[in-house]
Amino acid sequence: MARIGIREVAALAGVSMGTVSHYLNHPSRVSAEKAVRIQAAIDKLGFVRNNAGRQLRLGRSTTMAYIVPDVSNPFFATIAEGVEQRASEAGLSVFLANSGGRRAREDSYLELFQEHGVLGILVASPEPIEDRLAAIQKKGTPSVLVGQLAASPGQPSVSIDDVSGGYLAARHLIDIGCRRLAFVGGPLSVRQVADRLQGASRAVRETGSATLEIIDVEPRVISVGHKVGAEIAGRPEANRPDGVFTVNDMLGIGLVQTLVTSGVRVPDEIAVIGYDDIEYAENSLVPLASIRPPHQEFGIAAVDLLLVMVEEKESDLHRVFAPELVIRRSAER
């Protein structure tokens, strides 16, 4: 099949290439009669505008990229919703890329998107990445770091105040009467984990009469929650915590399952609260209380920040969101 271009359309419609282009980009400037003829030719020939030519000529693109470590993680997926919504409002398209958390793949996508001349890149990464983003920035492609507060000057970011999230969780446990708290999750070398613990710790300190036990486990998955649950259920009652804050919902879900099936009453004997408010939290055996980050707004803010950068060339904005406490049966008394 011969590739159909604007030239062929023009020929069939009996107008010049310029007029076809006008019709495509400024329809109002073309007479109704020719517009009809042009559209007919487009349909007849199955013309599709060639973006390479267009972009080459224009020198800019209306596409942005969002690189995530794991698309199937509901956390990133829900942010993506916000990103796409806001982008589409701004007349932009979003290319998603899945880095699998692997640095090499991350780099290759970063390179790819630069070559494609995207307007900008949103990046969520478990890897240290700010150096690379700075380099890319210098070459003309702006980026926004998603999910962690950027440290380098000139690097915008949207993030969540995990200290405050940890505080909220522990504070709530204390408010409903818990005094022997436990924090489940690790490793503390992960910033988010450390921050959540720090917040929880502050709430405990404020209270004075409460204690905080740290159960440092990883990875943060359901099956580890099961193990921790079995361990706690196996203790003499006096040694058990009466309120547990798990650093994410997976751990919380596993923990609650094992506690309940071991005959420990949740929340009466042990109250549990998770973090992230994933879909399964709401639907677990005992609906799991959790800390909810504002996913959608998060994505929206990321796009907005990117647009600001594009307009103003330089910027160093950070948006830090406050998470929200979601009370459910696992932490109600």
Partner DNA sequence: CTGAAAGCGCTAACAC
Partner DNA sequence: GTGTTAGCGCTTTCAG
- Size of the residue set binding a copy of itself (CB under 8 A): 62
Smallest Cα–Cα separation from 327: which of 172, 183, 210, 160?
172
Q: Which does 103 bind (CB under 5 to 8 A by kind): a copy of itself, DNA, none?
A: none
> Is residue 63 within 8 Å of residue 90, measured between CB atoms?
no
Q: Find how far residue 62's CA is from the centre of its chain.
A: 21
How far is the first Cα of the chain from the last one, in angstroms, to the nearest whole number? 71
Residue ranges of E strands in 29-178: 63-68, 93-98, 120-123, 143-146, 157-160
Q: Supply φ then ψ for residue 279, to 5 degrees.
A: -55, -40
Considering the rule CB under 8 A, would residue 112 count as an interface residue with a copy of itself? yes
Q: Does 34 contact DNA by CB under 7 A?
A: yes
Runs of H (alpha helix) within 14-63: 17-25, 32-45, 51-58
Name the residue type at position 103: R
CB of 121 to a copy of itself, least distance (A): 13
Q: Site map for a copy of itself, 195-224, x if CB under 8 A?
A: --------------------------xxx-
Q: Which amino acid is residue 71, in one-letter code?
A: V
Of 98 and 114, which has the nearer Cβ to DNA? Answer: 114
Task: Report the interhelical angle of 222-233 vs 249-261 (nearest 10°).
Answer: 40
How far is the CA of 248 from the CAs of 81, 113, 174, 273, 293, in angstroms?
A: 21, 32, 19, 9, 12
Amino acid at 325: L
Cβ-based nearer residue to DNA, 237 or 313: 313
User: Which 43-82 positions form the footprint of a copy of itself (CB under 8 A)?
Assistant: 46-56, 59, 63, 70-74, 76-78, 80-81
How many of the chain's residues bind DNA (CB under 7 A)?
Answer: 30
Task: Determine, following the binding rule CB under 7 A, whether residue 44 of this chain makes contact with DNA.
Answer: no
What distances in angstroms separate CA 66 from CA 50, 93, 115, one per listed residue? Answer: 23, 10, 15
Closest CB to DNA among 44 and 49? 49
In whole angstroms, how close is the CB of 213 to DNA at the nearest point? 58
In the shown chain, the binding pattern of residues 115 to 134 toward a copy of itself, with x for contact by CB under 8 A and - for none, equals xxx-----------------
Considering only residues 36, 43, 44, 50, which one is a binding residue for DNA as defined by CB under 7 A?
Answer: 50
Interface with a copy of itself in residues 236-275 (CB under 8 A): 254, 257, 260-261
DSSP conformational letter for 112: H
The C-alpha atoms of residue 232 and residue 244 are separated, in whole angstroms, by 10
Among residues 21, 39, 62, 93, which is the contact residue for DNA, using CB under 7 A? 21
For DNA, the binding residues (CB under 7 A) are 3, 5-7, 15-22, 24-26, 29-31, 33-34, 47, 49-50, 52-54, 56-59
For a copy of itself, the binding residues (CB under 8 A) are 1, 3-4, 46-56, 59, 63, 70-74, 76-78, 80-81, 84, 88, 93-98, 100, 105, 108-109, 111-112, 114-117, 135, 138-141, 221-223, 226, 254, 257, 260-261, 280, 282-285
